[in-house]
């Protein structure tokens, strides 16, 4: 949720942010107007309440013969107060409605849409094979790691089983991520995967892409697409202690996405599925520390990707491709040999004070005054990584070399085709 004081002081910045995102800049002027109406309605209601209070004292001091007329005037004033309070409530509701329509203010991201990202760096060299490489599904099936056919039979399209060493490979990757998170000062959490509407709305997921979310109407609960949602709601309505630095959590959970609008895209294998597991980093910090914390999360992702040894690049995501809560986002994309391109593995977003303002998460500054926190998130490992790990580490005989960092969790060095 946008800060109204920032909006009043910097309307052109917010308008430009809307344009950068490809969203409606006129919402800015609508919100400014609604905010002016709200403040006028508050002033009017306060003035009438003060008048009512003074009138009450006047009645108490009046002679008995004067009171009937004064009481009649008091009733009329009482109705005016009631009407003014109703108008104030309506004005406040309109401001909140418009606030929820305006996305976070973009900070430094390039303008444009999905294809207008800027490549910041390449890490590692894509492998060159002297044989025809197999894609991750063919490898997964021949090695006994992935069973799409039975996943579809049980649950429908875009579902799968990870079987045998496939399950261990995912657990190895997630365990490594969890250990790295703990060593870096993140508290590991296994959060709920069903959340209330206020948590989903507070994190900005009930806007333009709400059709991506699974909803259980009988319970009024949502299945999360990332543990970011539950971790953002963890301190909802609290004043937290940031005197010793950011609060950092790492959520390990299953995640669920409807993949609405992706018909025909990535239908083969486990690149785009309805259910997957993920370790997600989440930080609460002071707003002035948010940019440094964003780089810290990106460095954590670099470290994890380096550990599993896949070639990748980092991109600065364009404003039009940002989620509504993100002011800036960096994606890391791994090389997928059979697609001859890079595909997203992780993202890390600086959400500034946007989510915490909606959720009422604050801290006390050096003067003891409550201020709104900044929040950030970043993926440390997820099921999709198996695609890059399998394809980049395959051998001519159809085997796959297990990255060295995962071997202590796997107990094997090479995954061999099943006979």
Residue 257 annotated as binding site: yes
Residue 138 annotated as binding site: no
**Alpha carbon distance 304, 84 (integer Å):** 58
44: Cα within 13 Å, side-chain hemisphere: 18
Name the active-site residue from 347, 349, 358, 391: 347
Residue 227 annotated as binding site: yes
Residue 416 annotated as binding site: no
Tokens of 101: 């329509």
Same topology for domains 4-101 and 118-415, yes or no? no
Per-residue model confidence (pLDDT) at position 62: 63
- Quick one: which of 262, 271, 265 has its CA closest to 386? 271
- Residue 364 bears catalytic tag: no
Cα dihedral across residues 234, 236, 241, 247: positive or negative: positive
- Residue 257 bears catalytic tag: yes
Q: What fold, for 118-415?
A: BirA Bifunctional Protein; domain 2 (3.30.930)
**Alpha carbon distance 258, 261 (integer Å):** 9
Name the active-site residue from 248, 257, 357, 358: 257
- Residue 248 bears catalytic tag: no
Per-residue model confidence (pLDDT) at position 73: 61
Name the active-site residue from 23, 344, 364, 399: 344
Neighbours of 303 (CB within 10 A): 14
**Distance from CA of residue 211 to its chain's centroid?**
15
Residue 244 annotated as binding site: no
Per-residue model confidence (pLDDT) at position 55: 64
Per-residue model confidence (pLDDT) at position 412: 95
Per-residue model confidence (pLDDT) at position 346: 95
Residue 267 annotated as binding site: no
Name the active-site residue from 199, 293, 384, 391: 384
Residue 347 annotated as binding site: yes
Backbone dihedral angles phi then psi of residue 98, each to the nearest 5 degrees: -70, -35
C-alpha distances in Å from residue 335, one per residue of 127, 267, 347, 405: 9, 19, 15, 19
Cβ proximity of 379 and 278 under 8 Å:
yes
Q: What fold, for 4-101?
A: Helix Hairpins (1.10.287)
With a cut of 50, which residues of the chain have pLDDT below it? Answer: none
Residue 275 annotated as binding site: yes
- Quick one: which of 17, 27, 203 has its CA closest to 109? 17
Name the active-site residue from 272, 302, 313, 364: 272
Residue 345 annotated as binding site: yes
- Residue 344 bears catalytic tag: yes
Domain spans in the chain, listed from the N-terminal domain onward: 4-101, 118-415
- Residue 324 bears catalytic tag: no
Q: pTM for the complete prediction?
A: 0.91
**Alpha carbon distance 126, 35 (integer Å):** 54
Residue 344 annotated as binding site: yes
Residue 10 annotated as binding site: no
Conformational region of residue 301, where left means phi above 0, alpha means psi within -120 to 50, and beta covers everything else: alpha
């Amino acid at each position: 949720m946008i800060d109204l004081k920032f909006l009043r002081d910097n309307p052109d910045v917010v308008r430009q942010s809307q344009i950068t995102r490809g969203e409606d800049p006129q919402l800015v002027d609508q919100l400014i107007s609604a905010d002016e109406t709200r403040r006028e309605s508050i002033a009017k209601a306060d003035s009438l309440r003060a008048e009512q209070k003074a009138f009450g004292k006047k009645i108490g001091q009046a002679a008995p013969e004067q009171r009937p007329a004064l009481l009649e005037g008091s009733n009329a004033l009482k109705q005016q107060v009631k009407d003014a309070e109703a108008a104030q409530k309506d004005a406040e509701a309109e401001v909140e409605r418009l606030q929820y329509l305006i996305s976070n203010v973009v900070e430094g991201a390039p303008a444009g849409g999905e294809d207008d990202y800027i490549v910041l760096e390449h890490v590692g060299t894509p492998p060159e094979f002297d044989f025809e490489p197999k894609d991750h599904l063919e490898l997964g099936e021949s090695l006994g790691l992935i069973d799409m056919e039975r996943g579809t039979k049980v649950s429908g399209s875009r579902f799968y089983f990870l079987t045998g060493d496939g399950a261990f490979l995912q657990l190895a990757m997630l365990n490594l991520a969890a250990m790295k998170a703990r060593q870096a000062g993140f508290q590991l959490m296994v959060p709920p995967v069903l959340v209330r509407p206020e948590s989903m709305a507070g994190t900005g997921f009930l806007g333009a892409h709400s059709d991506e979310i699974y909803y259980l109407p009988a319970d009024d609960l949502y299945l999360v697409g990332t543990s970011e949602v539950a971790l953002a709601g963890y301190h909802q309505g609290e004043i937290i202690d940031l005197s010793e630095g950011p609060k950092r959590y790492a959520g390990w959970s299953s995640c669920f996405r409807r993949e609405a609008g992706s018909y025909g895209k990535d239908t083969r294998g486990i690149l785009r599925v309805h259910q997957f597991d993920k370790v997600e980093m989440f930080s609460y910090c002071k707003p002035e520390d948010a940019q440094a914390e964003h780089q810290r999360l990106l460095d954590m992702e670099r470290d994890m990707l380096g550990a599993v040894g896949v070639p990748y690049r980092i991109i600065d995501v364009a404003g039009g491709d940002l989620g509504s809560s993100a002011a800036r986002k960096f994606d890391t994309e791994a090389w997928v040999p059979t697609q001859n391109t890079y595909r997203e593995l992780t993202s890390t977003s600086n959400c500034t004070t946007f989510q915490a303002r909606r959720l009422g998460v604050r801290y006390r500054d050096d003067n003891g005054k409550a201020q709104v926190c900044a929040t950030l998130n970043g993926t440390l490992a997820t099921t999709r990584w198996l695609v890059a790990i399998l394809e980049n580490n395959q051998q001519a005989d159809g085997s796959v070399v297990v990255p060295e960092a995962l071997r202590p969790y796997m107990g094997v060095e090479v995954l061999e085709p099943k006979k």
